[in-house]
Amino acid sequence: MRILHLDAGKEMRGGQWQVLRLIQGLDRQGAECLLLARPESPLFEMARQARLAVEPLSFRNVLMLGRRCDLMHAHDARSHTLGALAASVSGPLLIVARRVAFPVGSRWKYGRARCYVAVSEYVKSVLVAGGVPHHKIAVVPDGVPLLEPARGSALLAPANSSDPQKGAPLAIAAARLAGMPLEFSANLEPDLRDAGLFLYITHNEGLGSAALLAMSAALPVIASNVGGLREVIRHCHNGMLVENSADTIAAAIREVAQNPALARRLGDAARQTVQERFTVDIMVRRTLAVYHEVLS
């Protein structure tokens, strides 16, 4: 099986980490993958360092290399557009990953894919509301590696202040009310080791791979009660779901920070949730099943 993966991301955000982990997992399963990415992007460089097959993303390469593949898997909005254009000419079957919960845009573009891989049931509902038929959508949640349990005390949040859909200003205000310094991380995997509590505040969320990564490190997570996060976190069982108000978030921070037994219980249940439902291996197996179904 030969798969052409497309990603136009300029930064190494959650979606790009998922692309890298998926291709590495598919490679271990014997699938032949080629990634097209921006040459100046972190994803391109990390794929090259991992000795994965990677070439510059361009419409010419999508057309030329797509003809040699069985499937084309687009992983973001721009690559979806390139893939749709190529598929309308003479490209392979197009699969599109949908990790965001924004409303569907161009009906023409969304009519070109053979299948959409939605990251959550919530994202699937957004696609259906936008006119994508149920039968063209498969739900495959993100997968994260199982990290060593965290042993720190810092209140940590992902560095996403440039994204207006994320709630960095609200997180800062809540941490100030709770009387705790808040640290932002642009490199979560190593930084989680020194954390004691993870804060994931957002106004719109497909699933929340950063929250999953923190959960894998047995960290208690306080997250916004929105979107696909409700499919990951059960309130007061494996994390805390909060409304997006500074007072409510601050109260949750204080409750967990001042109760080590609660923090430990939430963190242990969070890690178990990831082990059972959100590992990279599970994500790879379910994606492969989608590929086989599309090709059958």
The pair of three-digit structure tokens given for residue 67, joined into one six-digit string? 């003809």
CATH architecture assignment, domain 2-143+279-295: 3-Layer(aba) Sandwich (3.40)
pLDDT of residue 162: 62
| For the chain, counts of helices (H) and of strands (E) | 12, 12
pLDDT of residue 89: 79
Separation of alpha carbons 263 and 266, rounded Å: 5
Q: Give me the DSSP letters along 44-105.
A: HHHHHHTT--EEE--HHHHHHHHTT-SEEEE-SHHHHHHHHHHHHHT--EEEEEE---PPP-
- Whether the Cβ atoms of residue 73 and residue 4 lie closer than 8 Å to each other: yes
Separation of alpha carbons 268 and 81, rounded Å: 41
- Whether the Cβ atoms of residue 196 and residue 221 lie closer than 8 Å to each other: no
Nearest to 139 by CA among 223, 77, 228, 266: 228
Separation of alpha carbons 219 and 238, rounded Å: 9
Beta bridge partners of 2: 32
Instruction: Give Rg (Cα) of the chain.
Output: 19
- Whether the Cβ atoms of residue 83 and residue 91 lie closer than 8 Å to each other: yes
- Whether the Cβ atoms of residue 273 and residue 232 lie closer than 8 Å to each other: yes
The pair of three-digit structure tokens given for residue 239, joined into one six-digit string? 């994390």
- Whether the Cβ atoms of residue 283 and residue 209 lie closer than 8 Å to each other: no
Q: Using 50 as the pLDDT threshold, list the residues of the chain that sit under it.
A: none
pLDDT of residue 71: 95
Separation of alpha carbons 202 and 205, rounded Å: 7
Nearest to 95 by CA among 77, 108, 107, 112: 112
Separation of alpha carbons 188 and 147, rounded Å: 11
Beta bridge partners of 156: 183, 198
Q: Would you kindly state where each structural domain of the chain is located, as residue ranges?
A: 2-143+279-295, 154-277
pTM: 0.93
pLDDT of residue 208: 94
The pair of three-digit structure tokens given for residue 12, joined into one six-digit string? 């190494």
Q: What kind of fold does domain 154-277 have according to CATH?
A: Rossmann fold (3.40.50)
pLDDT of residue 87: 87
* Distance from chain centroid for Cα 205: 10
Separation of alpha carbons 83 and 37, rounded Å: 13
3-state helix, strand, coil in the chain (%, to 5): 45, 20, 35
Q: Is the dihedral of CA 74, 189, 40, 102 positive or negative?
A: positive
- Whether the Cβ atoms of residue 8 and residue 57 lie closer than 8 Å to each other: yes
Given this chain, do its domains 2-143+279-295 and 154-277 carry the same CATH topology? Answer: yes
- Whether the Cβ atoms of residue 156 and residue 253 lie closer than 8 Å to each other: no
Q: Is 32 exposed, middle or buried (0-12, 13-18, 19+ CB in 10 A)?
A: middle
